[in-house]
Amino acid sequence: MGLWDRDVCEIFIAPDPGVIERYFEFEAAPTGEWLDVALHWTPEKRESDWGFHSHMTALGSITEDRVTIAMRIPWNQWIHEPQTGERWRVNLFRCVGKDPDRGYLAWQPTRTAKPNFHVPQAFGWLSFK
């Protein structure tokens, strides 16, 4: 736990575009550490299912001038293999460094006053062809 407080890449996936408040979070660090969690977001609270196990794997490496992080997230009963024409809500994030100089990068910025990646309405679209 607390992987998100260090250098990490995150992928958020909502495979059912009709229920974007139920999504999955996958994180991996350059050290190869990782976590996966199923989430249900409401304006009042965020429910985290820490018992969720996607069977993801991750690999990281650090060299003098490069950080590489790879994740493998298999299709399963929660994240089905996409079919042609499907569209999923997705977002990608990168956290770098420690507070107070911590950097945040997002494919689709959530535009919150305080960094908050858990804004499924801000996720972008991933289309499968």
The pLDDT > 70 percentage for the chain reads 99
Q: Range of 23's domain? A: 3-127
How many structural domains are present in the chain?
Answer: 1
Regarding pTM above 0.85, the answer is yes
3-state secondary structure 26-76: EEECCCCCEEEEEEEECCCCEEEECCCCCCCEEEEEECCCCEEEEEECCCC
CATH number for position 57: 2.60.40.1190
- How sure is the predictor about 5, in pLDDT bands with cuts at 50, 70 and 90? confident
Instruction: Give which of 88, 93, 81, 92 is closest to 125, Cα–Cα.
Output: 88
Both tokens of residue 54? 């996607």
Instruction: Give which of 77, 76, 51, 61 is closest to 28, Cα–Cα.
Output: 61
Q: Which pLDDT does position 29 carry in this prediction? A: 92
Q: Which amino acid is at 107?
A: W
- How sure is the predictor about 110, in pLDDT bands with cuts at 50, 70 and 90? very high
Tens of pLDDT, residues 35-62? 999 999 888 899 999 999 999 999 999 8
